[in-house]
Amino acid sequence: MPSKRSVLLAFDKFRGSADNGQLTAAATAAAERLGWDVKSVALADGGEGSLDALGGANRTAEVTDPLGRTVEAGWRLEGRTAFIEMSAASGLALVGGAERNQPMEASTVGTGQLISKAIEVGARDIYVFLGGSATTDGGLGALRAMPPPARLKEINLVVACDVETLFVDAAAEFGPQKGASAAQVKMLSRRLERLQQIYFDDYGVDLRDMAGGGAAGGLAGGLMAVGADTVAGFELLADHVGLDELLPEVDLCITGEGKLDTTSFKGKVVGGVHRWAGELDVPTVAIVGVVGDGVEVPNGLQVRSLTDEYGSEAAFADTLRLVEELAELVLSKAEAG
């Protein structure tokens, strides 16, 4: 009797429609119905959803949100290692989106408070996931809420991000997404330029050519100034969940995210999974909500889009059922092939 074929499910979220756990459950139902052995991991690119990929928050702390209000922010502690999503304390969603944000006032102080809390309870390795920020304060709020740099020398502080934006470019690139007007973008850019010089004068760190310093409105650069290292978010999470150990055990890998676009192959989940699977000759299929304009799909990756196959209205309204249906079609084709 032939052995069961096996599939690895490695989804990111479909933003606004389904999280990776829901997507995995939908695809698992299809695979088990066809008799496939299923392995799964939850993945993210180092932004929002990263804590979920690690098992979720297991600690909370009372911190200040971007506009000065008190919120309960979840974070994760594993032994002496802490994982923090800046969006939990300084995220755009906390202020009601771009239309309710105050871009000139929004501060990362809450993220600094989370870092301080982690240090207080004994964490010595602290990973900060960026993404979804309301802020363009260059990390100044966070640094003011953290211990002084002399105390941070005993801490391994790591920033996980997936962009290469320079510190002084953060406002121009991301400010409009956070509700900043053209005039505010100019003012925020000038503020970042001054802050870059202050960080050099105070900490001796030159951020001018440091890729990724502009992530999360310059929070990455602020943390770099006090000694933080940077790491690609996907690589960190893929290592943590043992993706390289699971891939050799399967016949097929199914990944996916809400929108496949040009950034999908620059540090995002679909591109990362395809690259890791390709190195081990594991066929990969991406099930996505929609494919953006101008996307060049790399050789060896098959893409199936809910929007292309079912229409945009159905893709958004009935995401999980359609993911299950499309996963069954993918697996049936793989069996036949």
Q: What does the pLDDT read at residue 1?
A: 37
pLDDT digits (tens, 9 = 90+) for 140-189: 999 999 999 999 999 999 999 888 899 999 999 999 999 999 999 999 99
How many angstroms separate the CA atoms of 55 and 41, rounded? 10
Domain range for 186 is: 50-234
What pLDDT is attached to residue 167?
Answer: 97
Sign of CA dihedral 211, 54, 21, 74: negative
1 belongs to a structural domain: no
Residue type, 159: V
147-151, long-range: CB < 8 A, 24+ apart: 147/116, 147/119, 149/203, 149/226, 149/227, 151/119
In a domain, 59, yes or no: yes
Q: Domain check: are 182 and 58 in the same one?
A: yes
Q: Quick one: 187 and 246 in the same domain?
A: no
Tokens of 159: 């920033």
pLDDT: which is higher, 192 or 18: 192
Amino acid found at 115:
I
- Same-domain status, 250 and 213: no
Name the average pLDDT for the chain.
94
Residue reference for tokens 């192959």: 265
CATH code (residue 189): 3.90.1510.10
Radius of gyration, alpha carbons of the chain: 21
- In the chain, the N- to C-terminal Cα span, in Å, equals 19
Same domain for 226 and 167: yes
pLDDT (mean) for 270-296: 94
Burial 116-127 (b: 16+ CB within 10 A, else e): bbbbeeebeebb
| The pLDDT of residue 254 | 98
Whether residue 330 sits in one domain with residue 281: yes
Query: Are residues 307 and 197 part of one domain?
Result: no
What lies within 8 Å, CB to CB, of 69 at 6+ separation is none
Looking at the predicted structure, is the pLDDT value of residue 337 above 80?
Answer: no
Find the mean pLDDT for residues 40-66: 91
Report if residue 19 sits inside a domain.
yes
* pLDDT confidence of residue 3: 67
Is 232 exposed, middle or buried (CB count within 10 Å of its CB: 0-12, 13-18, 19+)? middle
Indicate the pTM of the whole model: 0.88
End-of-domain residue from the set 234, 265, 284 = 234
Residue 194, pLDDT above cutoff 70: yes
H or E stretch covering 177: none
In angstroms, the CA 219 to CA 212 distance is 10
Q: What band does 262 get if pLDDT is binned at 50, 70 and 90?
A: confident
pLDDT (mean) for 243-260: 95
pLDDT at 15: 83
For residue range 78-115, list pLDDT tens digits in order.
999 999 999 999 999 999 999 999 999 999 999 999 99
Give the integer Cα–Cα distance in Å for 35 and 255.
Answer: 19
Q: Is pLDDT of 2 > 80?
A: no
**For the domain that residue 300 is a member of, what is the CATH number?**
3.40.50.10350
CB count in 10 Å sphere of residue 295: 15
Contact (CB, 8 A) for 11 and 20: yes
127 and 84 housed in the same domain: yes
pLDDT of residue 27: 97
Is 65 found in the same domain as 39?
no
Residue 120 has pLDDT above 70, yes or no: yes
- Do residues 91 and 133 both lie within one domain? yes
- 86 and 116 fall within a common domain: yes
How far apart are the C-alpha atoms of 302 and 284, rounded to whole Å?
A: 7
What pLDDT is recorded for position 48?
79
Q: Give, as one character, the DSSP assignment of residue 109.
A: H
Whether residue 79 is found in the same domain as residue 211:
yes
Closest CA to 41 of 2, 11, 73, 78: 11
Residue 59 has pLDDT above 50, yes or no: yes
Number of domains into which the chain is organized: 2
Separation of alpha carbons 174 and 193, rounded Å: 16
